[in-house]
Structures are given as C-alpha cells and as structure tokens.
C-alpha cells in the first residue's frame, strides 16, 4: 500500500519522517472540490504503478485547516512533494496524467541518487567503509551527480584517503567546487594533511612550557586539536597567537580561526570566539 489518508496525528510520521526515505507527495483536497475528484484517482493509480518509489499522503484540507495553513495552501487541489522533510516542488489544479508523471519524474531520485540516500545514514553514523561501495555504485549509475561526488569525498576523508577525497572535489564543476559543502570538505582535508606531520601533544606542550612565545608550537598544537575536533582548545591557542603577534605566519592565527568558524556546528561557541577575536583586533 503506497497511499495513505493523513491528518495532524500522523503527518509528521508519514510525511516529514517518511520523506527522509522516499519522496512523499501530499495531496491537499476536499470532498466538495470537483477537480480534486479528477486528480485523486490519477495520483492513487500512479502511487501503485510506481511501487513505492514515492508515497502518496492524502490530506482533507477542510478537516486539517491548520496543516493547510502551515503549508500555504491557497486553493485545491494543491500537491506538494516532500523530500528530506522539506517541500521541494508543488503544483495546483487537476493536471492530466502525463503532466503528473512529469512532476513525479522531477522529484523521484535517480537510481544513483537512491543509492546515495542509502549510503548517507551510514556516513553520518561513522560507517564510511560500508558506505563507500554504495557510493561507488551510485557514481557508476549517475556520474554527473554532484551530491554523490561530495559524499564520496566525505567517505574517503573519513577513511584517511586524502588524495582520493581531494580528487573527488577537484572533479566537481567550477561552481560546485566553490559551494559551502565543498569548501568545508576541502578545509577538513587540509587539516587532516597538516595533522599527519605534527609532533605529539606532549612534545608541543613541553615546547610551550619552555617558551610561551613559541608560536610555531602553538599553531601546531591548535592544528592537532582541530584534527581531534577539540575546537575550543584549538581556538584558545589561535587567539593567543593573535594576541602575541597578529602578523605571525601571514596572520595564520586569525585565518585559522576564520576557517574554523565555518566548520564548527556549535553556533554559540562560534559567537563567543568571534567576540574574543574582535576584541583582540579592535
């Protein structure tokens, strides 16, 4: 069964959570609506024909006015496609079957993209070794898919294959290479490459204890902390470099901090250290 009657009680489960697995097509309709009666059987028939490549969620907008209002339904039938918990496409009115099929083909992932979506939870769970074969197969099926290439770079980075991770990024089109995700991955590769040649933490701390002005040791210790995701400790060292000599290493302390601000997910931590950096520079 690929079509469900959905209301406020199960909308999150079927539509929001469900759309992290496959696209969910939500049909906002009402019993009195003539065009709805034309469109609804077309959607139901296609849901069966596509055999689970998308899920159809039917929402009676009269009975679920809050949902209709939340998603900006102004007229019905209104069909919205969800993927990853977000609306990615929509149409209004009773379209003929050929146009509904064209709509579905726009939102349903390609075979390569479907494999990427299977691999993504493995990547996020730290199981890059299991994700990698799926991503390679995905790229074979869909070689122009930039998202697959980015996830391959992420997997190779997690496995320590930095040359292959960088090669995947370098193979992206120019515009994609300048995107936020590619830039973040490139920064992480740079950090991982630097950390390979670093002395141990104990040695670096001994050097700093012996000479608090050893900025080379402080920068190397910051890089080691960054590689280990000990971001606050890393930023403390970088701030100390800026405090002692803001021009050191072509402003290495400030530049490393700015790069780190892009990598750290903790918004409050970033705000705190941005303020500290600003106070030093002003």
Identify the active-site residue in 33, 128, 226, 235. Answer: 33
Write a three-state SS string for the chain: CCEEECCCCCHHHHHHHHHHCCCEEEEEECCCCHHHHHHHHHHHHHHHHCCCCCEEEEEECCCCHHHHHHCCCCCCCEEEEEECCEEEEEEECCCCHHHHHHHHHHHCCCHHHHHHHHHHHHHHCCCHHHHHHHHHHHHHHCCCCHHHHHHHHHHHHHCCCHHHHHHHHHCCCHHHHCCHHHHHHHHHHHHHHHHHCCCCHHHHHHHHHHCCCCHHHHHHHHHHHHHCCCHHHHHHHHHHHHHHCCCHHHHHHHHHHHHHHHHCCCHHHHHHHHHHHHHHHC
| Exposure of 249 in the CB half-sphere (CA atoms within 13 A) | 16
Pair type for strands 55-60 and 78-83: unpaired
Q: Which of 26, 36, 153, 165 is catalytic?
A: 36
Position of tokens 């969800």? 82
36 annotated active-site: yes
Closest CA to 64 of 26, 92, 93: 26
Q: What is the β-pairing status of strands 86-92 and 78-83?
A: antiparallel
CA–CA dist 31, 69 (Å, integer): 18
Q: Does the annotation count 33 as an active-site position?
A: yes
Residues labelled catalytic: 33, 36
């Amino acid at each position: 069964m690929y079509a469900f009657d959905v209301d406020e009680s199960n909308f999150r489960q079927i539509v929001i959570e469900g759309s992290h697995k496959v696209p969910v097509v939500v049909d906002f309709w009402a019993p009195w609506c003539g065009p709805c009666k034309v469109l609804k059987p077309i959607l139901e028939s296609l849901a069966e024909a596509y055999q689970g490549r998308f899920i159809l969620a039917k929402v009676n907008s009269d009975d679920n006015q809050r949902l209709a209002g939340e998603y900006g339904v102004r007229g019905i039938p209104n069909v919205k496609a969800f993927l990853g918990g977000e609306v990615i496409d929509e149409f209004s009115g009773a379209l003929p079957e050929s146009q509904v099929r064209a709509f579905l083909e726009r939102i349903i992932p390609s075979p390569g993209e479907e494999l990427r979506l299977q691999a993504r939870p493995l990547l996020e769970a730290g199981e890059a070794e299991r994700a990698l074969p799926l991503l390679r197969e995905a790229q074979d099926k869909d070689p122009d898919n930039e998202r697959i290439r980015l996830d391959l770079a992420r997997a190779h980075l997690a496995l320590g294959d930095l040359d292959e991770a960088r090669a995947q990024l370098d193979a992206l089109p120019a515009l994609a290479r300048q995107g936020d995700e590619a830039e973040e991955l490139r920064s992480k590769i740079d950090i991982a490459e630097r950390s390979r040649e670093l002395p141990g933490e104990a040695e670096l701390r001994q050097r700093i204890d012996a000479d608090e002005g050893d900025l080379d040791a402080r920068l190397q210790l910051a890089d080691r902390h960054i590689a280990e995701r000990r971001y606050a400790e890393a930023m403390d060292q970088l701030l100390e470099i800026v405090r002692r000599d803001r021009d050191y290493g072509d402003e290495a302390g400030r530049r490393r901090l700015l790069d780190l601000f892009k990598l750290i997910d903790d918004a409050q931590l970033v705000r705190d250290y941005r303020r500290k950096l600003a106070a030093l520079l002003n």
